[in-house]
Chain A
Amino acid sequence: MPRWLRWLIALLCVGVIGAAIYLPILRRRMKLAAKLQQQSAEQARRELTQPVPVNPADARVKATLFWASPNGDFSLAPTVAELPLSNDPVLRSKQVLNTLLAGPVDVERRTLPPDAALLAFYILPNGTAVADFSEALATAIPSGIQSEQLAVDSIARTLEANVPQVQRLKILIHGQEVETLAGHLDLTGTFQVNTRGTAPAAGSAPPPTTAAPASAGATPAASTPSPPAVAPSTSVPAPTSVAPAPTKPAGTDKPMPDSTRPAPAPAKPSSPAAPQATPTKPGNF
């Protein structure tokens, strides 16, 4: 056999082996691309963004989460849970906000719609945190001054209690600045988060957050895609347990069934307020 023929055969063999390895990879990529095309922009974004990594080496610390008070007076009550939280303020904020979104064991204490997701979160050098939520936050929340304020306050106070670096909060909906959350609450400005010195009081204290109008420097432009975001509720350790469940109210309103509740592994509960029978539920999501 001439020498050149041997070389040619060897070359062809290498080519065949290379193709055998590469073609399945190419096929998988094409499938993924086709799948992504079918999904909505937001779903695709969720697919591509990395879940918030939970480092098991992170020390479990006591995190304070603000959900609706179990006594049904539409105030916020803190719940302390042990979570492995990062020391990085951005990562830590994402972790606590995802836990807040995942919700308490007691669905009636929810302050945010169950299908709302955190799409992006970052902190500007001046201490303004920018939290970008999916559209569900605006569309699925019960319209009203009280319900919208409860939602924003639960976000602001949870950040205040766990991430001291955050001074102000700007809320975006799907990357855009919106005028109101659901027709009432002003989202054009920032919400004061760190009310220096006034530690979150237990239970009944009125929400301390106030809104400030947008100042040009503190309000970023609307287009704010940022890669790390969205953790499905499974990527964060299960939400914490909660104060004893309030007695079932006397059927004054009809909460929508919430089927998507993750089953949380109870951690140390701290019950801030004694439950009482109440006529309404805070969040009828």
Chain B
Amino acid sequence: MALYAAPALFALTGFAFSFQAPVASQAPASAASPASSSAVLPAQNPALQAPLASRSGLNIVVLDPAHGGTDTGARGTGGIRESEIVLDFSAQVKRALEGQGFQVLLTRQGNDNPSFDDRSAMANAQLGAVFVTLHIASTGLPGTVRVYVNSDLPSNSDPSGLISWDRAQMPFQSLSRKLADTVQGLLAQKFKGSPNNAQTAAIRQLRTTAAPAIAVEISSVVVDDRADLDRMAPGVADAIATGVAMFKPSFVVPVISSGGTP
């Protein structure tokens, strides 16, 4: 569904994968992804070599405005739709991240709805990426923001030592937690009433993402005036951009030593 890529980019993506295989832990997960999802690289991504140049460096942020298309996400009584607001938010977060020197990829540009796997695949196809999915909640104290990481996944028992696609987040859990706590700390300073530490939840989108991955949920769609949410966008954007920049030095591609290694 979300085939942004020009056909010529197929070759390039294949190129990226072949480089990834020996180095990155994401390789097994990526390999398990269907061919269609490996083609989700947006056409404006010019520098596939960038992550290869400094393999341990963090250069790319995959930003995921949740929902879209027929899936409007949370809906407020005042007609506020989560899918629309997160798209506006992500534009501001993108600018803030670019200001910190990151390359930003969006999982959707307009009102479409890529699958969970397609969204994850955008991050899984990169080396040195983090994944941030943006949500507006139905509940919660209006004006607060919570950051979530995926619940712990049990260790892999596959004798091949490969990490399967459906639990791609597993080796990244501690990195995700570190990133989430950093961003949550910054958000708590800006938005009073937000928790000081990141929360844990079984979030479908994060489970298949082979990168440090967090969900940012803003409260909430129940505000009467959309402007109340729009006012939060600069603060949220700044906290995410600063948080990812602070996290950057601690980013390393984790080495997978699964329990099943012979």
Contacts and interface: CB of A to CB of B under 8 A. Distances in A.
A212 B154 contact: yes
Interface string A172-186: 000000011001111
A210 interface: yes
Contacts of B220: 144, 253, 280
A66 interface: no
Contacts of A142: 74, 138-139
A183 B73 contact: yes
Contact of A213 (B141, B148, B166): B166
A252 B204 contact: no
A54 to B, nearest CB: 33
Contacts of B205: 184
Contact of B222 (A179, A186, A254): A254
A74 interface: yes
Chain A interface size, as a band, is 20 to 34
A186 B151 CA distance: 10
Given A213-B153, A213-B154, A145 B204 contact: no
B215 interface: yes
Nearest to A143: B74
B249 to A, nearest CB: 28
A185 B199 CA distance: 13
A210 B142 contact: no
A18 B89 CA distance: 77
B43 interface: no
A284 interface: yes
A271 interface: no
A186 B142 CA distance: 25
A252 B220 CA distance: 10
A149 B201 contact: yes
Of A183, A185, A215, A279, the most chain B CB neighbours within 10 A belong to A183
Nearest to A254: B77
Contact of A212 (B77, B142, B148, B153): B153
Nearest to B199: A206
Contacts of B67: 183
A120 to B, nearest CB: 22
Nearest to A251: B224
Interface string A158-202: 000000000000000000000110011110110100000000000
A103 interface: no
Given A144-B217, A183-B67, A210 B116 contact: no
Nearest to B167: A213
Of A152, A189, A215, the most chain B CB neighbours within 10 A belong to A189
B203 A185 contact: yes
A215 B154 CA distance: 10
Contacts of B202: 149, 152, 185-186, 189, 191, 210-211
B131 to A, nearest CB: 15
Nearest to A73: B141
B203 A145 contact: yes
Nearest to B75: A143
B222 A280 contact: yes
Interface string A99-128: 000000000000000000000000000000
Of A179, A184, A186, A211, the most chain B CB neighbours within 10 A belong to A184
Contacts of A186: 202-204, 207
A184 B139 contact: no
A230 B133 CA distance: 37
A179 B166 CA distance: 12
A284 B140 contact: no
Interface in B193-214: 199-205, 207
A36 to B, nearest CB: 33
Interface string A245-258: 00000001110000
Contacts of A70: none
22 contacts: A144-B217, A145-B146, A146-B137, A146-B138, A146-B219, A179-B116, A184-B203, A184-B205, A185-B201, A186-B202, A188-B204, A189-B202, A212-B153, A213-B153, A215-B154, A252-B222, A253-B77, A253-B220, A278-B141, A279-B141, A280-B142, A284-B138
Given A74-B139, A252-B142, 4 more contacts: A145-B148, A146-B138, A149-B202, A213-B153
The 7 closest A-B pairs by CB, nearest first: A211-B202, A142-B138, A253-B222, A210-B151, A144-B137, A186-B204, A186-B202
Interface of B: 66-67, 71, 73-75, 77, 82, 116, 135-142, 146, 148, 151-154, 166-167, 199-205, 207, 215, 217, 219-220, 222-223
